[in-house]
Amino acid sequence: MSSRLCAVIVSRGLDEMLRFCLKCFFESAEQVSGSVEAVVVDNASLRPYLATSFPDSRVRLLRFDASTGFAAACNQAVRDCEAEHLLFLNNDVFLDRSTLVRMLQHGTVEGVGVTGSWLYFPDGRVQHCGVVFGDGEIGPYHLHRGQFMEPRSQFETFQAVTGACLMVSRALFNRIGGFDESYSFGLEDIDLCLRVRQAGQRVICVDAGRPMHFESFTPGRIELDVSSRRLFMERWRDKYTIDG
């Protein structure tokens, strides 16, 4: 029988952080009805992850020897997955016990395509509460990033949310062709959200407890972000609403 939710975690090294990320995910999943699973994509870790490192039988490992882009890695992980909903999760995001329940509560409502979550830095400042778009070269950015803020509603609608913690139904994900693999690392999540909206579905960001996000621990991300940003702007400039 297929599971209700499958977390897809693309990770390189940082074994202990990944282990804690999985622990938090499964603790949060205890509050959810239906079974859950997780696919860990070992993206060319210098010392490969071992099945024995994750004794939970709900964790499946997918090893890549060559470093693969986030989009391609996620798409391949989803290919073998039969879960109803997918949760793309970064290895440095530690979910709160109530996160998954709240995301599923609001994310499975008719018309909602993608669900993100408020995320906090370890010191309590906001890391993510939705993505807004600035004029000209500014493009997409995280609203209220680095500020001390509290959510004012259970959820809000945005044009995009971060892929660090992003839930989407598998059917919709496959219908729109998954992540665009032209992006090396970064902004493929925003691209996905915009395509979801083009498909007539909403993107929301949910107040889902206090999940924590350390952000960009993996080395080499910044350089890759630059080429992704260039591609994103070529593709989407003037096609989004300026709301930031």
Partner 1 sequence: MGNDMLQMTVIIHTRDSEATLPRLLESVRWAEECIVVDMESRDRTLEIARHYGATLLSTPIVPRIDGIRNDFLECGHHEWVFVLDSDEYLAADAEQIVRGLLERYGETSDAFCIPRYNMIAGQIIRSRSWYPDHQIRLFRKGCVRWSDSTHKLSELQTAQERLHKLEPPGCLHIHHENYTSIQQFIDRQVRYALNDIYPEEGFSFQQYVAWAYEEFDFRLDEKNDGELSFALATLMAWDRVVRGLIHWERLGRKDSLRRAYSLPITTISRYPEGVFPGDVEELRRQAEDLHQRLQFLESVPGVKLLARLTKSVRREHRKTKDRLKRMRQYFRGKSATG
- Closest approach, Cβ 48 to partner 1, in A, equals 6
Q: How far is the CB of 80 from partner 1 (least distance, A)?
A: 9
Q: Which is nearer to partner 1, 61 or 143 (CB)?
A: 61
Q: How far is the CB of 8 from partner 1 (least distance, A)?
A: 13
Residue of 2, 30, 31, 50 that binds partner 1 (CB under 8 A):
50
Work out how close the CB of 240 gets to partner 1 at its nearest, in angstroms, rounded to a whole number. Answer: 33
Residue closer to partner 1 (CB basis): 72 or 208: 72
The residue range among 48-56, 164-172, 208-216, 235-243 that interacts with partner 1, by the rule CB under 8 A, is: 48-56
The distance of closest approach from Cβ of residue 53 to partner 1 in the complex, given in angstroms and rounded to an integer, is 9
Among the listed ranges 24-32, 40-48, 84-92, 113-121, the one in contact with partner 1 (CB under 8 A) is 40-48
Q: Which of residues 59-98 bind partner 1 (CB under 8 A)?
A: 62-68, 76
| DSSP assignments along the chain, one per residue | ---SEEEEEEE-S-HHHHHHHHHHHHHHHTTSSS-EEEEEEEES-SS---GGG---TTEEEEEESS---HHHHHHHHHHT---SEEEEE-TTEE--TTHHHHHHHHHTSTTEEEEEE-EE-TTS-EEES-EEEETTTTEEEETTTTS----SSSEEEESB--TTEEEEEHHHHHHTTSS-TT-SSSSHHHHHHHHHHHTT-EEEEE--S--EE----STTHHHHHHHHHHHHHHHHTTSS----
By CB under 8 A, name the binding residues for partner 1. 44, 46-48, 50, 52, 62-68, 76
